[in-house]
Chain A
Amino acid sequence: MRRLRQWILMSAFVLATTPALGAMQPAGPAAQDGFVPASQLPPATEQLPATPLVAAAYAFMWVATLAYVFLLWRRLAAVDRELTTLRNEIGGKP
């Protein structure tokens, strides 16, 4: 009996909330009565602008290359310094 009451309550809840959930859906475009000629369409607007994508691509290429060049130059300079120091030390000792 208790189980039956639970089922009835649950069904009533589902039935009551379904239209409400349906109302929460975003409203789509209104239905058309017929075909619309292309000439009557509003002017096309770009959905996703290309400029930020192109700028990001070129910026990434430059940043990656310059970062690699900088790191390489720093490593070369450090090894050069270490080599000079060591050569002087070895050369200084008889």
Chain B
Amino acid sequence: MQRVFVPAAALCALMFAVAPFLVVGAPYESTMGLVQKIFYYHAPAGMTMFLAAFVSGIASGVYLFRGSRTGDRIAAAAAELVVLFGAIVLVTGPLWGRKAWGVWWQWDARLTSSLLLWMMFVAYLLVRRYGGPGSEKLSAAVALFGMANVPFVYVSVNFWRTLHPKTSVVSTLQPGMRGPFWFCVGAFVLLFVVLLISRVRLAQQLADLDALYLQAGDRASA
């Protein structure tokens, strides 16, 4: 995994260095103008949040049903990343909405369900941190519920009346906007992979540390 990490991190840094130039060069949207440029970070961050929620949910399922410790570590790492990318979505969205819609926030289906998804993974981290012994299984169940919420968040704009654009907005992007958008999606997914590898490594090292402390305790008592 370490062999993949360094090239992936370098490529990710390069992509994030190039992305602003592509965003500036992309055509202006006719009704929203400059503020629409938030879209190039807001939507990819949202997609990465969904991806992280899926990874956390699936890894939690593997941990719950197969007892895999690696699954638990991946689930915890991905849950932290749901909170990180979710925070980016929930902050950049209102900044865009204030100009485009005239309001910072609207309690509609998409915005409210996104906030709920983010809060579920904050709850996951809180349960893990303060839940005491056995909290890994409880938090894994929370991650499964969080993952189940993702399709609902995604399709909510198509079923309920909302200020948020529908899911078709991505497939109908103009050619000049499509390239920078998918480039940013690639950069965010790569960032997710790089951060996930680092965070899983931290969890692995913490487990090694616990094992070493136990070993040292056994030696001292022997």
Cβ of A7 within 8 Å of any chain B Cβ, yes or no, is no
Residues of A within 8 A of B216 (CB): 86, 89-90
Instruction: Compute how far the CA of A69 lies from the CA of B47 in the bound complex, rounded to whole angstroms.
Output: 20
Q: Are B84 and A76 in contact (CB under 8 A)?
A: no
Q: Is the interface of B mostly helix, strand, loop or mixed?
A: helix
Cβ of B88 within 8 Å of any chain A Cβ, yes or no, is yes
Residues of A within 8 A of B45 (CB): 61
| Contact status of A76 and B205, CB under 8 A, knowing A60-B92, A83-B212 | yes
Cβ of B98 within 8 Å of any chain A Cβ, yes or no, is yes
Q: Which of A16-24, A29-37, A51-59 contacts B (4 or more CB under 8 A)?
A: A51-59
Instruction: Compute how far the CA of A54 lies from the CA of B208 in the bound complex, rounded to whole angstroms.
Output: 44
Residues of A within 8 A of B95 (CB): 53-54, 56-57, 60
Q: Closest Cβ of chain B: how far from A70's Cβ, in Å?
A: 12
B-side interface residues, number (CB < 8 Å): 34
Q: Closest Cβ of chain B: how far from A94's Cβ, in Å?
A: 10
Q: Are B88 and A50 in contact (CB under 8 A)?
A: no
Having A50-B99, A51-B34, A79-B205, one finds 20 other A-B pairs with CB under 8 Å, namely A48-B98, A50-B35, A53-B35, A53-B38, A53-B96, A53-B98, A53-B99, A54-B35, A56-B95, A57-B41, A57-B42, A57-B95, A57-B96, A60-B95, A64-B88, A68-B195, A72-B202, A76-B201, A79-B209, A90-B212
Interface residues of B (CB under 8 A from A): 20, 33-35, 37-38, 41-42, 45, 80, 84, 87-88, 91-92, 95-96, 98-99, 191, 195, 198-199, 201-202, 205-206, 208-209, 212-213, 215-216, 219
